[in-house]
Amino acid sequence: MRMWAGVATAVGAGAAVTALTGAVLSMSNQPPNQLRATVRGSVQTSEGRLPHAFLTLATYPDSLAGEHGKNGGPHPDWVSYGPTTNLEGPAHAVVTVTVRQYDTGGTVPDPYFAQVHGTLGGTETIDGKVVTGINPNTVAHTFTLHMFPANQPTEFISVPLPGVPASAPNVANGYPAPHVVTFSFITGGPGRYIWNCEFPCGTYYDGFGGPMSTQGYMDGTLTVG
């Protein structure tokens, strides 16, 4: 779960380069406001009893929600995560992430990113159903956490988020009813990691420019401490 070298081998050259491209591009951006995981109790794991922390995020087809406000900020048409992409969580803990996914989907260029990697049990839960991956033709975004090892524990987590049908009607908040995705992973010691979407639907850099490489949209950080 935490070995980058093993992940790189499993991913293969194309997916590894894709993930590293996102990491390099994201380092040049200033982080937005922080969202701290909330610790609620503890949970038994193979590593002993650990604190259990929770984060709740959403993905949108535009920037008219979350930290950018109703006017969408400088790029109202950019896809985005919310309420922020700068996350914090405790070290040596189980972190459970819930993502409400409002965007439509398509075919992810590398099917590796249609599978779940690095989570507890190697699974995610989508609308109450436990799965190990989804159809690569129905991916909207991914939550992919990675970083070069640098005197800190290494982590690689990648979870696909299924797309909402384009024909789905909007509800009261102006978006269609979302897919609700949950997954959990164990953090190591203190460190700072990059996470981003690995579905290149931006501009330039083989689709990884624009929102894909800009913190506050499809790119962020996780500070563990």
How do the pLDDT tens digits run along the chain, 225 residues long?
Answer: 222 222 333 344 344 444 444 444 444 444 458 899 999 999 999 999 999 999 999 999 999 998 898 899 999 999 999 999 999 999 999 999 999 999 999 999 999 999 999 999 999 999 999 999 999 999 999 999 987 667 777 889 999 999 999 999 999 899 999 999 999 999 998 989 999 999 998 887 778 889 998 989 999 999 999
| Contact in structure between 93 and 224 (CB atoms under 8 Å) | no
pLDDT at 218: 95
CA distances from 136 to 90, 123, 141, 161, 163 (A): 32, 16, 11, 10, 10
pLDDT at 153: 77
pLDDT at 206: 77
Cross-sheet strand order for the sheet of 191-196: 34-36, 86-89, 219-224, 191-196, 139-146, 157-162
Look up the pTM and report it.
Answer: 0.85
| Contact in structure between 53 and 186 (CB atoms under 8 Å) | no
What CA–CA distance (Å, rounded) separates 80 from 58? Answer: 8
Domain ranges of the chain: 4-218
Helix, strand, or coil (residue 101): strand
* Element (DSSP H or E) covering residue 94: strand 94-101
pLDDT at 149: 65
